[in-house]
A and B are shown apart, each in its own frame.
Chain A
């Protein structure tokens, strides 16, 4: 491991700590026991339904037939491994400046991925910009964490952000449902709604991690400036004043609130975090909010 690698020994120690903390938070849960909404061949009773041709006769509840002379089949909950997809925004806006957002996102992915692997969940990482920029196939078991590290380290910057295009591709390529953790700054000119809706409509459980850099909101540049969009190259010439900086901050707040409101209304977990906040705090916040570890 390179010395300048963000996933150094200290980082690994922190992951261990996070894992212990996650165990405390979700104490009592069984390992790899995630009840899916699928009804299948599990042991735990779920429901009854009318018998139809082709049903396994072993599942007919004969006691009910005796009482009501109607054939019902017992339904059991299907038990399966949890799939966790980390959809990481690797567009240029995530890497602007000294790549703080990008580094932060990688740490979050590594942290949550490690917890997932420890819980014997299947963890997959899909970086995206306006398309999917690669894929780490679902991995399972703690030993796969270094695979995750290597994958994250080799990621290159993409182009502009397009949640819609990227997530559309994602849902078509991944049929196994699971938790879809979207880490992005959501600087998408076409908006975030359509992209997130793709996840919802295809039965994924979206979890939104909205990252931002406080320095972008309180930039110290003033005066006559030529502002160039780092992704699209679009130019805006304006004179930045203190008032304009305040307006910019306000516009960003509005955009973030809009995203949060959208997620809340659709029962999607939403986390907003500044990259200036230590990443482990965010992870613990995600744990406490539930939904990620079940």
Chain B
């Protein structure tokens, strides 16, 4: 018999004190209460009638009662010592629990819990409960990142708190990293038990072929999840129009993971107001996508909701049924036209509602007043060191391009078709009366030129200064009469004010995000959709942090206004919640925990039960005056 409880060195004195205490209490119990009665002969007569037993038996009964108590105490001490049979196997195992907390674990296709993670935690808890006294366990949480929650510990209760704290992360799943880490952690350990508790969603077993599981390690995969039925919003973006970046359009893509056709409904909400609703039919495994054009409403929080309308179907994964996007506030561009009068130019600039155009006479030009874009019409004046400037046939000492000579009737032969300034337009057919031949610098880039090498349209990036030059007076050409003229002006404004990035991409959860804030900021406070806040470092004007929750994030800090960004799961692998089994070629993988349960004879329970039974017997015999 082995004892694995409190050592006898400690238990011995405790037991001795207990026995002495019981004896003292018993002696106290034996002391009879003294009662004064008026006439004892009456009692004596009763005593004579009832007293049939002899004194020996009476004393024996009293000793029996004491023995009862001593035996009960002995049983309790025995139980505390935690006895085990000698032949009981209790060699310590190393149990590593890999708990998947990726997005797919939020699927609610399970019974007995809220979602797959809930069940996974239950399974982990059950395993921890079966741990033997010499077993050691380690808890690792993984999604697209790996998070060891403990080293190998003998006390299973230590792992309960971190296990409870594991929560769903709307991210992908890095099975390889997790399994490699687990394998290496178990390498060299005796009786290793690697237990992967995961739905196996998105698991590509072919990638795991190179995985080297230690020989002494038993690999188990407890597959969580029962169903793969799901429809998901896999993309939800807002972007500027290619042609007119001052307006936006929405794009949504929905994917079905059902094995049969289902009906659904897409609802678009702007600041929680329903602005569009569209029923759709989805073929098995197919996707649906749609554009929402002309979304010119400024500063709105957009949310797409996907609802399954087929009555006989159920979507088990709610995490990808909502997606978020933010419409950036429409920026009004401030343009200064420095000209003594040019109706051709003023017309397109004034007609565009997103432009605030101010015409300044050449004599009144003040370079200290900042504008988004300054257009010099047939003039070149002193400019600040930074800004966007468009020169039309400039001349004079402040012209960026010194004029060599003026050429009549230049014929445009070359143009960079892919340049944003020439989007949707061409200039080869222009009829130009005269154009200046400029001396170009190395910073200049010729976009359009004539056959004789006369630059017609030139750009220059000079530090914080961005220049575009047109080498002819538009009035001395048919350009103002063409559709290409206002288009060029829009392209020009886009080129200056918005760059070429037309897509307002949503962020994907599970990735490290880099959000431009302010160069002067050192840190930023991130407010996640669930309301929690954290601090992120700012490196080179960008806040770097990781997001694992779909929704709207707010980034605030010193030196910049609060920035909002939208984040979505947008992960087709995670949306495919079909559970799958881990397969590793020849490697045996167990699928249950039946052999994992540490079976041992819990003799202490029987000892306590026996003590309890004896206590009942003693109580009964005492009250029946059998042991009094």
Which residues does A use to contact B, with CB under 8 Å?
Answer: 93, 96, 185, 187, 189, 216, 221, 223-232, 234-239, 241, 244, 247-248, 251-252, 255
Chain B interface (Cβ < 8 Å from any Cβ of A) = 30, 32-47, 49-51, 625, 628
In the complex formed, the residue of A with least CB distance to B44 is: A236
- CA gap between A232 and B625 in the complex, in Å: 29
Give the residue among A229, A237, A244 with the most B Cβ atoms within 10 A. A229
How long is the Cα–Cα vector from A284 to B117 in the complex, in angstroms? 91
Taking A224-B30, A229-B39 as given, write out 18 further A-B residue pairs in contact, using a Cβ cutoff of 8 Å, ordered by the A residue number: A96-B38, A216-B38, A221-B35, A224-B628, A225-B32, A225-B34, A225-B35, A226-B33, A226-B35, A227-B35, A227-B40, A228-B34, A228-B37, A236-B43, A236-B44, A238-B43, A239-B625, A248-B46
Q: Are B40 and A236 in contact (CB under 8 A)?
A: yes
List residues of chain A with CB within 8 A of the CB of B42: 248, 251-252, 255
**What CA separation (Å) do A228 and B33 show in the bound complex?**
10
Instruction: Give the residue name and chain of the B residue nearest to A241 (CB).
Output: B625
Say whether B46 contacts A187, CB under 8 Å. no
A251 / chain B contacts, CB cutoff of 8 Å:
42, 45-46
Task: Return the contact of A238 from the options B36, B38, B39, B47 (Cβ within 8 A).
Answer: B47
Residue of A at shortest CB range from B41?
Answer: A189
Q: Which residue of chain A has the shortest Cβ distance to B46 in the bound complex?
A: A247
Chain B residues whose C-beta falls within 8 Å of the C-beta of A237 in the assembled complex: 32
Judge whether A223 and B40 touch: CB under 8 Å: no
Q: Indicate whether A225 sits within 8 Å of B40 (C-beta atoms), given known contacts A244-B46, A247-B46.
A: no
| Residues in A whose Cβ lies below 8 Å from that of B625 | 239, 241
**CB of A29 to closest CB in B, whole Å:** 39
A13 to B203, CA, bound (A): 107
B625: shortest Cβ distance to chain A, in Å?
Answer: 6
Report the Cα distance A251→B46, complex, angstroms.
8
Q: Which residues of B contact A241 (CB under 8 A)?
A: 625
Contacts of B44 in A (CB 8 A): 234, 236
Q: Which residues of B contact A216 (CB under 8 A)?
A: 37-38
CA distance A231 to B37 in the complex (A): 9
Enumerate 18 A-B pairs (CB-CB under 8 Å) in ascending A order.
A93-B38, A96-B37, A96-B38, A224-B30, A225-B33, A227-B36, A229-B41, A231-B39, A232-B40, A235-B40, A236-B40, A236-B43, A236-B44, A236-B47, A238-B50, A247-B49, A251-B42, A251-B46
If A224-B628, A236-B47 touch, does A229 touch B37 (CB 8 Å cutoff)?
Answer: yes
Distance (whole angstroms) from the CB of B63 to the closest CB of chain A: 15
Residues from chain B with Cβ under 8 Å of A247 in the complex: 46, 49-50
Asked whether, in the complex, the Cβ of B32 is within 8 Å of the Cβ of A226, the reply is yes
- Give the distance in Å from the alpha carbon of A221 to the alpha carbon of B37 in the complex: 11
When the two chains form their complex, are residues B38 and A227 in contact, meaning their CB atoms are under 8 A apart? no
Chain B residues, CB < 8 A from A239: 625, 628
Alpha-carbon gap, A244 to B49, bound state (A):
10
Q: Do residues A185 and B38 form an inter-chain contact, with CB atoms below 8 A?
A: yes
Q: Which residue of A lies closest to B33 (CB)?
A: A225
Q: With A247-B46, A252-B42 in contact, is A96–B32 under 8 Å at CB? A: no
**What's the Cα separation between A279 and B45 when bound, in Å?**
31
What's the count of A-B pairs with C-beta under 8 Å? 77
B37:A227 contact, CB within 8 angstroms: yes
Separation of A292 and B51 alpha carbons in the complex (Å): 45
Across the interface, which residues of A come within 8 angstroms of B45, CB to CB? 251
Measured CB to CB, the nearest residue on chain B to A221 is B35
- The answer for the CA separation of A96 and B38 in the assembled complex, in Å, is 7
- Measured in the bound complex, the distance between the Cα atoms of B35 and A225 in whole Å is 7
Q: Which of A231, A236, A255 has the most CB of B within 10 A?
A: A236
Q: Bound complex: CA of A251 vs CA of B40, how far in Å?
A: 12
With A238-B47, A248-B46 as contacts: A187 and B35 at CB distance below 8 Å: no
Give the CA-CA distance A221 to B39 in the complex, in Å: 15
- Complex CA–CA separation, A16 to B73 (angstroms): 71
Residues of A close to B38: CB separation below 8 A? 93, 96, 185, 187, 216, 229-231
Q: How far apart sit A96 and B39, CA to CA, in the bound complex (Å)?
A: 10
CB closest residue in chain A, given B40? A229
Q: Which residues of A contact B41 (CB under 8 A)?
A: 189, 229
Report the bound CA distance from A229 to B37 in whole Å.
Answer: 5
User: In the bound complex, what is the Cα–Cα distance between A185 and B41 (angstroms)?
Assistant: 14
Shortest CB distance A16–B (Å): 34
Q: Is the CB of B46 within 8 A of A230?
A: no
The residues of A that contact B50 with a CB separation of less than 8 Å are: 238, 244, 247
Residues of the A chain whose Cβ atoms lie less than 8 Å from the Cβ of B33: 221, 223-226
Can you name the residue of chain A whose Cβ is closest to the Cβ of B625?
A239
Report the separation of the CA atoms of residues A147 and B49 in the bound assembly, to the nearest whole angstrom. 49
A239 to B58, CA, bound (A): 12
- Contacts A238-B43, A244-B50 given; indicate if A228 touches B628 (C-beta within 8 A): no
A230 and B36 contact, CB distance less than 8 A: yes
List the 9 shortest-distance A-B pairs measured between CB atoms, nearest first.
Answer: A229-B40, A187-B39, A93-B38, A226-B32, A247-B46, A224-B32, A96-B38, A236-B43, A234-B40
State the CA gap A226–B43 with chains docked (Å). 11
How close is B380's CB to chain A, nearest CB, in angstroms?
Answer: 120
Report the minimal beta-carbon distance from A60 to chain B, rounded to whole angstroms.
Answer: 60
> Which chain A residues border B35 with CB–CB below 8 Å?
221, 225-228
A109 to B43, CA, bound (A): 30
Q: Are A248 and B628 in contact (CB-based, < 8 A)?
A: no
> Chain B's nearest CB lies how many Å from the CB of A250?
9
Which of A227, A235, A244, A255 is the most central at the interface, judged by chain B CB atoms within 10 Å of its CB?
A227
- From residue B454, how far is it (CB to closest CB) to chain A in Å? 127
When distances are taken between beta carbons in the complex, the residues of chain A under 8 Å from B47 are 236, 238
- Residues of chain B within 8 A of A187, CB atoms compared: 38-39
Asked if residues A93 and B34 are in contact (CB atoms below 8 Å), the reply is: no
Q: How far is the CA of A251 from the CA of B50 in the complex (A)?
A: 13
Least CB distance from B47 to A in Å reads 5
- Give the residues in chain B near A221, CB-CB below 8 Å: 33, 35
Q: List, in ascending order, chain A residues with CB within 8 A of B37's CB.
A: 96, 216, 227-230
Alpha-carbon distance A222/B30, docked complex (angstroms): 14
B residues near A226, Cβ cutoff 8 Å: 32-35
CB distance from B261 to the nearest CB of A (A): 83
Given the complex of chains A and B, what is the CA–CA distance between A232 and B38 in angstroms? 9
From A93, A223, A244, B39 is in contact (CB under 8 Å) with A93
CB-nearest residue of chain B to A101 = B38
A202: min CB distance to chain B, Å: 27
Q: A224 contacts which chain B residues (CB < 8 A)?
A: 30, 32-33, 628
